Amino acid sequence: MQWITVATPPFSSIEQFDKVTALVDTEPHGMTARYVGTSNGKLRVVTLWESRAHADRFFAETLGPVLARALGPEPVGQPEVFGIDVARSYVREPVG
């Protein structure tokens, strides 16, 4: 089942987001879409995954070490993340 994550990173700028994502060697396995923007003055990252297992693996094995390298050794906190089981999906078809 597809899985959506909505994350609030432990930083607030697009530039910091770009710095972190530049340190990820390849596109995260199982991620099919990513959207980044702000809401209520906070940076938000919304991702669509093939499964919850893909998202969990990325957060545990990739994102933690990358955040440490990008933001330094001082603890900056973990992203706040919540997930959504996708029950229905809608994909807009291009208008021809």
- Say which amino acid occupies 21: T
Record the pTM: 0.84
Q: Choose the weakest-confidence range: 12-21, 39-48, 70-79.
A: 70-79
**pLDDT at residue 2 tops 60:** yes
In this prediction, residue 96 carries a pLDDT of: 67
Closest to 78 measured CA to CA, from 62, 90, 67, 93: 67
DSSP lists the bridge partners of residue 48 as 4, 33
Q: Pick the closest to residue 83 from 45, 52, 41 (CA basis).
A: 52
Class at the top of the CATH hierarchy for domain 3-85: alpha beta
